[in-house]
């Protein structure tokens, strides 16, 4: 499965009610570090297809979800399981670090 796009309107259904763990990448088009990790997040979305749902929230267009979870800097990656926040990291991570975080949150 490729990367999904979560919005203020589908966040509850796609993330909070998901039967699978979910990784949400809070990002924006103008954010340099967000662009740096985007290919890594896309790659891992394919690699973990069927094990973890991985998607993005554009903070400029979906500010209520971002503010609800206290996203102050981007990129911020939040791991959800059964509707609850399990872990959170900010900043551009390399692939091995992000992969380790995914494994910890499966």
Report domain extents, the chain.
4-96
Hey, which residues are catalytic here? 31, 34
Banded model confidence at residue 1, pLDDT cuts 50, 70, 90: low
Entry pTM: 0.95
For residues 69 and 85, is the Cβ–Cβ distance under 8 A? yes
Report the top-level CATH class of 4-96: alpha beta
Residues 81-85: contacts with CB under 8 Å, at least 24 apart? 81/21, 81/22, 81/105, 83/15, 83/16, 83/17
pLDDT digits 0-9 by tens, 23-54 = 999 999 999 999 999 999 999 999 999 999 99
pLDDT digits 0-9 by tens, 59-69 = 999 999 999 99
């Amino acid at each position: 499965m490729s990367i999904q796009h979560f919005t203020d309107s589908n966040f509850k259904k796609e993330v909070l009610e998901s039967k699978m763990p979910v990784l949400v990448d809070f990002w924006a088009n103008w954010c340099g570090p967000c662009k740096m990790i985007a290919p890594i997040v896309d790659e891992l979305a394919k690699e973990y297809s069927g094990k973890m749902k991985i998607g993005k929230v554009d903070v400029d267009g979906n500010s209520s979800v971002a503010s609800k979870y206290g996203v102050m800097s981007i990129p911020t990656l939040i791991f959800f399981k059964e509707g609850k926040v399990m872990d959170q990291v900010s900043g551009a991570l390399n692939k091995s670090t992000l992969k380790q975080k995914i494994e910890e949150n499966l």
